[in-house]
Structure 1
Amino acid sequence: MGIPELYVDFNEMLEPDLVLLSAADSKVAVTGEQISLRAGLKVAIYMDDFDDEGRPDDLVAFGVVEANTSVGWAEHVRWCCRIDDHGIRDRSQL
């Protein structure tokens, strides 16, 4: 198995390189497989998006899972993804 690809909402950024991932200890990958989340797990993350002409072109990033330590509006979430130095890109740029 390669790196699991998981859906996120890039509107839920806690820091410029940290996005909320899951309130549960597992998440369903794009393949339908149930992925057990743990600190240090390498993942690909994506969110539906479209290019300027309306064609699908998901936003994607790569990173590692880490425990959520935030307080306030996001404290109910268990896991986050720390995005690598390449940041968030359009899938067509990969």
Structure 2
Amino acid sequence: MCNISITCRGIAMSGSKRSLAMALCCLCLLMSGNAYAEKSKKEKQCQKTRASIEKIQKKMRAGYDLKKSEKYHRQLNELYKKEFKHCM
């Protein structure tokens, strides 16, 4: 096995330490990409939830009876919980 020594900011690193440092850098890059994908998914879910809230509110402004009132309020309550989870 070849023992190559490099200097990084004044610190000498052997081949095995260099490999470990490279592996850690790769792991950090992979994790940051995963976090971005998760954020994007969360934003899409937020937009979808807010669109559903607006749709129900529009129906409520058009007028409704008691039975639909209970249904709309129940649906809005669940959507507000989802909105808090995905949008805050």
Structure ranking higher in strand proportion: 1
Q: Same fold (TM over 0.5)?
A: no
Q: What TM-score does the superposition give when structure 1 sets the normalisation length?
A: 0.18
Task: State the structure with bigger RCO (CA 8 A, min sep 6), 1 or 2.
Answer: 1
User: TM-score, normalised on structure 2?
Assistant: 0.19
